[in-house]
Amino acid sequence: MADLTSSLSFLTDNSIAAALKDVYGSFSERRAALGLPNPGTVDNIAREVQKEVLLSNFMFTGLRADLTKVFGMAPLFRMSHAFAMGSAGNMPPYNFSAMYGTPKVYSVPICIMV
């Protein structure tokens, strides 16, 4: 046991450890001087904020963005990207579609949903 104490003495006998101990002691004294009660666990604080401060957990229902670019009219070539976040129902989070058409032939849009 004496060997263990002597081998770990470098942790308590150096200037860095002494400085850290002084800083910790200073903070402890300041905290005790304020006389504040223990606020409880972090879970209880988060619960109070969610119930009393925030308006509702369901205020944000979702976000959707549709970006469409037409590259040409003769022949018709159009690309579209759609992004969705939140409670948008059964919609995929990302949708890509491309459409190509001429006056004689109109192709069915290609849709890729991820």
User: Is this structure's pTM higher than 0.85?
Assistant: no
pLDDT at residue 38, rounded to an integer: 78
Domain boundaries, the chain: 2-53, 62-113
Within 8 A by CB and 6+ apart from 85, the residues are 62, 63, 64, 93
Angstrom distance (rounded) from CA 81 to CA 47:
38
Instruction: Give alpha helix (H) positions in 9-113.
Output: 9-12, 15-34, 42-48
| 1 has a pLDDT exceeding 60 | no
* pLDDT tens digits for range 64-105: 889 999 988 878 888 999 888 876 566 678 888 888 888 777
Summarised one tens digit per residue, pLDDT across range 13-62 is: 788 888 888 999 999 999 889 988 877 777 777 777 767 666 655 555 67
